[in-house]
C-alpha cells in the first residue's frame, strides 16, 4: 500500500510529512550552537568555537533505566582545526548538557590506543583536526566511532579513523580504516549472513594528487562497500554500490554516506548526502536509499530516490547577525535515530554552522524510493514524467 502522507512525533515535537515535503523541521532549531558551547568552553581561549555541526548520535539507557540522547558534535576552534564535543539531552531536543572538555581532540601520546597500532602515524594523521564523527552501534553495548582526521601539513590529506567506546567517556583508537584517503564511513549495525561486517565508504576517488601541491584531486562520485571479520577491522574496500552520475541531479557532483544504516521492514535505511554544482555554489542535500536486508551490498537490490530528502533553506542556519557562517547552502547528517510509529529523527548541520533536527516517516521514505527510482550504478532516472 502506498503512503503519501504521515504523522510524526518525537518527544512532544509533532508534525505531518508528505512525499513532497518529507521532513518537518523542529520550530526550535537550531538545537545547539557555538554560543551554547562557548558558555562551557569559552573561558579557555584555545577552545573558543565558531560552529557546532555534523554530529554523530546515539541513544543510551543508563543503569537507572532512563534513556538519554548523546550528541558528538563537530566544532571549529579559533585556529581553524575541528574538534569533537559531547552533549547529552533527556529528550533529544533541548536542555543539552555539554561536557566541560572536548570528547575527542587530535591524538597525543597520552591517549588510549589499541595494541599494535602505529601511534606516531595516528598522531601525525590527526594533527590537522578531527571531524564528522559517526556513532556506529555494533551490539553488546559497543560503539565504533568513525571520524575524519586531517593531516597537519598536507592540504586536504584526510583519513577515516576508527575508535571504540562503551561509555562515551573512554575512547580507544584503532587507527585508519584504510591507508587510502577517505571521508564519510558508516558501518552496518550487524554482520551479514556470511558473518562479515559491512561498511559504506567514500574514498577520495583514486587518491590522485595534483603534482607538487599535495592537494587531493578526484570527483568523489562513488560510494563503495567494505568488509571485515570484525567491526574494528582490518577492512577491505570492495565494489562500488552507488554512483552519482551527471545531468540534472541533486547528487550530480558528489555523494557520500551520512548516518549509519538503520534496520527497517523495508530494508536497511541509508541517509546519504549529495552535492550539485551550480552557478551560485555547491548546495549539499540529503538523499535516501534502502538496501536489501539479506543482500545489502548488491546494487541490483538497492532502491534510491532521485528526489532529495532534504534541501537547504534559510531556516537551517538561524544565527546572530554577527555570527560566522562556515559554508552556505548545506544540510549534512552524521546521525539519525528511529522512534515509534515509523518516525525518524534526523540530526543535521545547517551551513556547517549550527545543529538542527527534523522528523521524517519511514513509510514515506520507502515510497520515495519506489516512485522516484534512480539507477544505483549510473545515476540515471528510472521513472518517467
- Residue 105: its pLDDT value, please? 98
User: For the chain, what's the residue count?
Assistant: 385
258 cis-preceded (ω within 30 degrees of 0)? no
Distance of CA 117 to the CA centre of its chain: 25
Position 246 confidence tier, pLDDT thresholds 50, 70, 90: confident
Annotate 48-112 with three-state secondary structure: CECCCEEEEEEEEECCCCCEEEEEEEEEEECCCCEEEEEEEECCCCCCCEECCCCCECCCCCCCE
Position 3 confidence tier, pLDDT thresholds 50, 70, 90: confident
> By three-state DSSP, how is residue 367 classified?
helix
- 92 pLDDT exceeds 70? yes
In whole angstroms, how far apart are CA 148 and each of 4, 34, 131, 184? 37, 21, 5, 7
Placement of cell 568488509 in the chain: 227
Distance of CA 220 to the CA centre of its chain: 16
Q: Which CATH superfamily is domain 29-374 in?
A: Glycosyl hydrolase domain; family 43 (2.115.10.20)
HSE value, Cβ hemisphere, 13 Å, CA-based, for 170: 7
The stretch 94-103 carries a mean pLDDT of 98
HSE value, Cβ hemisphere, 13 Å, CA-based, for 272: 36
The stretch 46-60 carries a mean pLDDT of 97
Cell, residue 356: 538542527
> By three-state DSSP, how is residue 184 classified?
strand
Placement of cell 564535543 in the chain: 85
HSE value, Cβ hemisphere, 13 Å, CA-based, for 111: 23
Domain ranges of the chain: 29-374
* Measured distance CA(324)–CA(34) in Å, rounded: 10
- Residue 205: its pLDDT value, please? 61
The stretch 183-191 carries a mean pLDDT of 96
* Measured distance CA(148)–CA(135) in Å, rounded: 13
The stretch 3-14 carries a mean pLDDT of 94
Q: What is the pLDDT of residues 100-126, one digit of tens each?
A: 999 999 999 999 999 999 999 999 999
Closest CA to 256 of 203, 313, 181: 203
* Measured distance CA(297)–CA(265) in Å, rounded: 17
- Count Cβ neighbours within 10 Å for each residue of 355-365 and write b for 16 or more, e otherwise: bbbbbbbbbbb
- 212 pLDDT exceeds 60? no
The stretch 157-170 carries a mean pLDDT of 96
- Residue 206: its pLDDT value, please? 53
- Residue 18 is given by DSSP the state E
Q: What is the pLDDT of residues 311-325, one digit of tens each?
A: 999 999 999 999 999
- Taking the CA atoms of the chain, what radius of gyration do you get in angstroms? 20
In terms of Cβ atoms closer than 10 Å to its own Cβ (0-12, 13-18, 19+), residue 285 is buried
Q: What is the pLDDT of residues 340-354, one digit of tens each?
A: 999 999 999 999 999
Amino acid at each position: 500500500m502506498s503512503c503519501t502522507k504521515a504523522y510524526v512525533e518525537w518527544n512532544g515535537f509533532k508534525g505531518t510529512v508528505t512525499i513532497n515535503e518529507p521532513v518537518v523541521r523542529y520550530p526550535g532549531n537550531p538545537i545547539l550552537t557555538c554560543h551554547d558551547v562557548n558558555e562551557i568552553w569559552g573561558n579557555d581561549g584555545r577552545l573558543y568555537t565558531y560552529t557546532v555541526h555534523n554530529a554523530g548520535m546515539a541513544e543510551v539507557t543508563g543503569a537507572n533505566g532512563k534513556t538519554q540522547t548523546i550528541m558528538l558534535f563537530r566544532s571549529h576552534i579559533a585556529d581553524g582545526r575541528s574538534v569533537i564535543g559531547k552533549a547529552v539531552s533527556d529528550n533529544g531536543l533541548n536542555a543539552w548538557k555539554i561536557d566541560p572538555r572536548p570528547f575527542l581532540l587530535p591524538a597525543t601520546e597520552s591517549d588510549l590506543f589499541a595494541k599494535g597500532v602505529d601511534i606516531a602515524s595516528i598522531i601525525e594523521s590527526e594533527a590537522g583536526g578531527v571531524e564528522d564523527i559517526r556513532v556506529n552501534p555494533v551490539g553488546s553495548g559497543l560503539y565504533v566511532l568513525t571520524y575524519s582526521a586531517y593531516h597537519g601539513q598536507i592540504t586536504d590529506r584526510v583519513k577515516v579513523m576508527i575508535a571504540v567506546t562503551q561509555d562515551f567517556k573512554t575512547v580507544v583508537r584503532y587507527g585508519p580504516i584504510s591507508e587510502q584517503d577517505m571521508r564519510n564511513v558508516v558501518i552496518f549495525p550487524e554482520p551479514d549472513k556470511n558473518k562479515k561486517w559491512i561498511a559504506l565508504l567514500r574514498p577520495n576517488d583514486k587518491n590522485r594528487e595534483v603534482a607538487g601541491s599535495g592537494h587531493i584531486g578526484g570527483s568523489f562520485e562513488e560510494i563503495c562497500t567494505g568488509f571485515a571479520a570484525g567491526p574494528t577491522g582490518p577492512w577491505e574496500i570492495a565494489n562500488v554500490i552507488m554512483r552519482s552520475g551527471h545531468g540534472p541531479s541533486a547528487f550530480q557532483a558528489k555523494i557520500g554516506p551520512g548516518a549509519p544504516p538503520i534496520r527497517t521492514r523495508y530494508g536497511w535505511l541509508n541517509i546519504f548526502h549529495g552535492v550539485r554544482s551550480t552557478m551560485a555554489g555547491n548546495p549539499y542535500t540529503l538523499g535516501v536509499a534502502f538496501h536489501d536486508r539479506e543482500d545489502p551490498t548488491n546494487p541490483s537490490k538497492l532502491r534510491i530516490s532521485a528526489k532529495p530528502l532534504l534541501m537547504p533553506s534559510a531556516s537551517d542556519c538561524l544565527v546572530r547577525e554577527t555570527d560566522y557562517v562556515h559554508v552556505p547552502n548545506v544540510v549534512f547528517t552524521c546521525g539519525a535515530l528511529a522512534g515509534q510509529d515509523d518516525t525518524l529523527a534526523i540530526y543535521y548541520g545547517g551551513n556547517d554552522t549550527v545543529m538542527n533536527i527534523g522528523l521524517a516517516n519511514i513509510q514515506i521514505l520507502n515510497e520515495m524510493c519506489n516512485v522516484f527510482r534512480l539507477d544505483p550504478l549510473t545515476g540515471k532516472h528510472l521513472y518517467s514524467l
